[in-house]
Every structure is written in C-alpha cells, then in structure tokens.
Amino acid sequence: MSAIPIPSATPYTFEEKRKRIFAIVAASSGNLVEWFDFYIYAFCAIYFAPAFFPKSDPTAQLLNTAGVFAAGFLMRPIGGWLFGRLADRKGRKTSMVVSVMMMCAGSLLIACLPTYASIGAMAPVLLLTARLLQGLSVGGEYGTTATYMSEVAMRGQRGFFSSFQYVTLIGGQLLAVLVVVVLQQFLDEAELKSWGWRIPFVLGACTAVVALMLRRTLHETTTAQTRSAKGAGSVAELVKNHKRALLVVLGYTAGGSLIFYTFTTYMQKYLVNSAGMSIKTASNVMTACLFLYMCMQPVFGALSDRIGRRNNMLLFGGLGTLMVVPIMTTLQTVTSPLLAGVLITIALAVVSFYTSVGGIVKAEMFPPEVRALGVGLSYAVGNAIFGGSAEYVALGLKSIGYESSFYWYVTGMMVLAFAVSLLLPRQATYLHDDH
C-alpha cells in the first residue's frame, strides 16, 4: 500500500482520522498478542515443567524452565537489531507482520510439542527453540511498533496515541494471568499438568493469526527514498551520526526498565518475601495495581502532549529519585494489602511518566532511515541488561543481608534518568507536531 503522507498543518479529515486510529488499533493489537504469548510461558511453567524436565526435584524443574525463559529474554537485543534493520530497510509493516508470524510459530510449536516421555531430550531442545523464536519476536516488536505508532499518530496527540503501546503490553500480561485463573476454575491440577497447559498457547497462536490479518491491512509510513537511503537500518550509521541520541536513549531506558520491572514483576515476590504477605494476597494486590497502571497510560501520554515529552521525562527521573527508597522501605513493614496497593500504585504513576511516552520520546530523536533500529536496539539492550537483571540483583542483595542496597541502586539509576533527560531537546528533533 502507499505510504501515509507526512501530516501538514491543515486539519485532518474524518477519513484521515479514522484510518490513523484503525492503524493504531491494528498495530497495538499485535503488541498485546506478542506480550500475552511471551508471558503465558512464565505463568504456565509450573504446570508443564515436569513434562519437559523430568527431575524428582520440583525446584530443579522450575530452574530449567526459568533458564529457557531467560534465554528468550537474552534474544531481545538480537531481535531489536534484526527487526529494526528490517523495518528501516523494508518497511514498518513488513517488520510487524514478520514479528507476529514468528510469535505465532513459537506459540504453536510449544502447544504441539511432544513431551520428554515421547521423544526424550529433543523435547526440551524444541522448547528452547520455540522460546528463542518468541524472544527474537518480542525483541523486535517494541521498536517497530513504537516507531510505527509515533509516525501514524495524529499531530498534537502523539503522546496520547503512542501510550497505547504500554496499554497493550500490560494488557497482554494481565490477559495471560486471567486465562490461567479461568483454567484453574475448570481444570484440576492433574489435568492442567497433563494437557490443560497447552490451551493458552493454542489461544496465543490463534489470536496471533487475527493480529497478522489486521497488520496486513496497514499502510506503510516510510517512503522508498528513506528505505533506500545510504545507511538505512545500519548500526554503523546509527553510531557514527546519532551517537548522542543513542546514549541518551540508553541512559533513560536503563533506569526506566529497571524501575518498571522492580514495581511490576519483582514486586509480587517482594510482597511475599519481604512484607510477609501470602502468595494469593500479593497476586491480588498486583493484579489490581497493574490494571490501574494500564489505565494510567493514556492519561500520562495526553499530559505529555500538553507539557512536552521532556517535562514528562524530567518528572519521571526527579520523582523516581525521591520516591523509591521511602516506598520500598515502607512496603517492607506494611501489613494492610490496601495500603500496599496504594503505595505501589503511586510508584507506578511515577513510572507512567516514562512508560506512556517512552516509545515516542525515542522515535522523536532519530531520522526515519534509522528510527526503528535506534528505538528497538537501545530499548532491547537497556531492557535486557537492567530490566532483565532487576529481580536477580534484588534477590542476590537480599540473600547476603543488603536488601536496602537495591533501593539505592534503583535510586541511582533514577538520578541517571533525570540527568540524561536534561539533555533531551525542548522540542523534538524529528516528528515535529507543527510541520
């Protein structure tokens, strides 16, 4: 299809608005599917671990499945590079279609995998292969979707529309939890371990097909000229001519990823291990907090359209620096689930200053010929190193009696995020709202 033209200062027609909103929905629906498929592995691991890693020790089984999960996480930088290059050289639409196809293939493979009892050691090998496919896919999903949504969003509302990337990211995680909870109501533990765990992966593959069909209808936002430009999709071009932008993006992505995983995936374990809550209570608290967090994204995205993306990022870094130690310290002694939920929601509101606009802030700093690569690679590297290690660093420091050091580590990264946010231009270098 033809490229969507660069927006002018003239008002959008109703038809233009409809097309752009549909494009946002189609792009973000694929994002939801990608993250649902990625997270469902973690939530179902307790049920399928014995089928692929037949050890007498349940902990060993979970460690093996966790290792495969981590392998998928480590594939993200490669996915960020691969799909960023593809998006810059062949088009955003092509990259998003291939990405969701790869996730569909990974989920379908896991759903149909023979167990260790059927094919022996090949079972865990195939499980790892499927997980690597999913890791590649989700590694490329963020950068390409963030780039596409920022380019297709209506001027003056780019922050609002781009925020739906994190709405669907969090929504995918919540949907994965919901599917498992529903299955637990209808199937007993034996059935879930025998065959029930395959159902979410089948659902994931089916919904990926729907997302694929939607994405195939998308208009391309790049032109043949930018796709064929010298250095398009090139890491060398990115480092040579956009080093400052790359380092700034890496700086605040490192802090943003760390605090995001601290107050989302790690927080449930923190409430159990440090605050002494039951697993069920902690799960309920986090489910409610994540739902509220998802709803916050458009609000904070719209705020950035009023006050500017740079101010959003400065508020994120500044408030994050001030709030991490007090909130984490207070949570350690909280006995009321309601109070814990309030404190976590406050923390997630601060994180929302970043997550609601993280994608578009990155996109606005790179020209179209290296935009998807710049966004995707910087996110994937910062996310893999700092976001992916958050839980391990926190638990490691706790195990040697220095749990509070983790709070200061996160605070230090918030100082870095604030410092690099000061280097952000007051107006976007690219993707101006007034052109």
Please, which pLDDT band fits residue 4 given cuts at 50, 70 and 90?
A: very low
pLDDT digits (tens, 9 = 90+) for 323-377: 999 999 999 999 899 999 999 999 999 999 999 999 899 988 899 899 999 999 9
Most confident of 131-140, 159-168, 173-182, 341-350: 341-350
Distances, alpha carbon 208 to alpha carbons 44, 106, 204, 405, in Å: 18, 11, 6, 41
Q: Which token pair is 196?
A: 């029930």
Average pLDDT over residues 382-389: 83
d(CA 217, CA 103): 19
The helices-and-strands tally (H runs, E runs) of the chain is 21, 0
* pLDDT for 169 beyond 50: yes
d(CA 237, CA 350): 34
* Confidence at residue 94, expressed as pLDDT on a 0 to 100 scale: 93
What's the Rg (C-alpha) of the chain? 21
Classified as helix, coil or strand, 337 is: helix
Dihedral angle, C-alpha 104, 105, 109, 110, nearest 10 °:
-40
Classified as helix, coil or strand, 42 is: helix
Distances, alpha carbon 327 to alpha carbons 291, 313, 314, 407, in Å: 20, 20, 20, 9
Q: Which of 50, 134, 72 has its CA nearest to residue 99?
A: 134
* Confidence at residue 195, expressed as pLDDT on a 0 to 100 scale: 92
Q: Which of 205, 320, 344 has its CA nearest to residue 256?
A: 320
Q: Which token pair is 283?
A: 């799960």
Q: What is the pTM of this model?
A: 0.86
* Confidence at residue 345, expressed as pLDDT on a 0 to 100 scale: 97
349 CB neighbour count, 10 Å cutoff: 16
Contact 79, 116 (CB under 8 A): no
* Confidence at residue 15, expressed as pLDDT on a 0 to 100 scale: 85
* Confidence at residue 203, expressed as pLDDT on a 0 to 100 scale: 92
d(CA 145, CA 10): 26
* Confidence at residue 59, expressed as pLDDT on a 0 to 100 scale: 64
* pLDDT for 143 beyond 90: no
* Confidence at residue 5, expressed as pLDDT on a 0 to 100 scale: 45
Please, which pLDDT band fits residue 27 given cuts at 50, 70 and 90?
A: confident
Q: Which domains does the chain have, with CATH numbers?
A: 11-222 (1.20.1250.20), 231-435 (1.20.1250.20)
Contact 262, 315 (CB under 8 A): no
| Environment class of 1 (CB within 10 Å of its CB; exposed 0-12, middle 13-18, buried 19+) | exposed
Dihedral angle, C-alpha 418, 419, 421, 424, nearest 10 °:
170
Please, which pLDDT band fits residue 3 given cuts at 50, 70 and 90?
A: very low
